[in-house]
Amino acid sequence: MPVDLQALYPKLIHLMLDTVFVVDRDNQIAFVSDACQTLLGYRAEELVGTPITDYMHPDDLAATRASIIRVMNGHSHVDFRNRYIRKDGSIVHILWAAFWSEDVGARIGVARDVTALWQAEEELRFLAHHDPLTKLINRSVFNDRLGTALRTAQRHNSTLALLFLDINDFKGINDGHGHAAGDRVLCAIARRLEHCVRETDTVARMGGDEFTILLTDVQSPDVVHEAVARIVAVMAEPLGEGFDGIRMPSCSVGVACYPQDGEDADTLLSHADDDMYRVKRQRSAAG
């Protein structure tokens, strides 16, 4: 007995894990498969007869309308992404494949939830630019920002400062309390350093227990001295509850200023590093 495909097709559409939409010329939803309830939280009967644009994220409306025009002009769009707002107010990221059917007089699209993929992509992008432990920017991004800041300073004949920080006796925390405790202390240090600078400044973890801070548009040497004093003072504050009696370590801060201490990134970093070790030696000599 031959299979009645015409009767089977509607059932197959509703079995699909992706959602099928049929949208007319006026952007009214004419049909949507049962998977829409998982995708958007609405039952099919709630969506049919309503404008599909009502559910789009407002920030994506312009790009989506451009895609709609493209599809209605006869160009299939099989890799378009946008965001929709679900019935519960949450946001879903959708990957679309769509084409215009002259026979039906409607736009037919298949929507796939790619929110998990988007989150994974965002995490990878974040990790490419940030230290995974402290969430500060990493060495590569810091070097890029330093290069950009130097070019800006050269054009505008302005001054910037580079601070190089090393945490004193940090090895003792790892040895005495374990590396997990040391990681928590590094994260606490990162947050304190972020609160010590302006929004226009940059804090980075260079690796291990070494951090750098870029101060841009420095109006006077006092700004640098105040920043260093603020960092030293903040680092002297106790860690507080949850650190099992670990003492907050002090830090040694080296400083390099453009242009007097160097006119390129390598020279400034080397000068700040040398100055940091000078401060560390002075601390050791003082007892």
Residue 9 binned pLDDT confidence (cut-offs 50, 70, 90): low
Q: 209 catalytic, yes or no?
A: yes
With both helix axes pointing from N to C terminus, report the angle between 265-286 and 139-156 in degrees, rounded to the nearest 10.
Answer: 110
Query: Helices (H), strands (E): how many in the chain?
Result: 10, 9
Q: Which residues fall within 8 angstroms of residue 241, CB to CB, at 6 or more apart? A: none
pLDDT tens-digit readout, 164-201: 999 998 888 988 888 999 999 999 999 999 998 988 89
d(CA 31, CA 104): 12
Compute the average pLDDT of residues 274-287: 83
| Structural domains of the chain ordered from first start | 5-119 (3.30.450.20), 130-286 (3.30.70.270)
From 131, 209, 273, 275, the catalytic residue = 209
d(CA 150, CA 265): 8
Residues for the chain: how many in total? 287
Q: Could you tell me the two tokens for 67? A: 């895609």
Between the alpha carbon of residue 74 and those of residues 71, 100, 108, 109, 119, the distances in Å are 5, 6, 12, 13, 32
Residue 15 binned pLDDT confidence (cut-offs 50, 70, 90): confident
Least confident of 36-40, 150-154, 247-251, 281-285: 281-285
Between the alpha carbon of residue 264 and those of residues 146, 148, 253, 267, the distances in Å are 9, 11, 20, 6
Question: What does the pLDDT read at residue 23?
Answer: 96
Q: Is residue 224 within 8 Å of residue 215, measured between CB atoms?
A: yes
Whole-prediction pTM value?
0.78
Q: What is the mean pLDDT of the chain?
A: 92
d(CA 213, CA 5): 68
Compute the average pLDDT of residues 210-221: 92
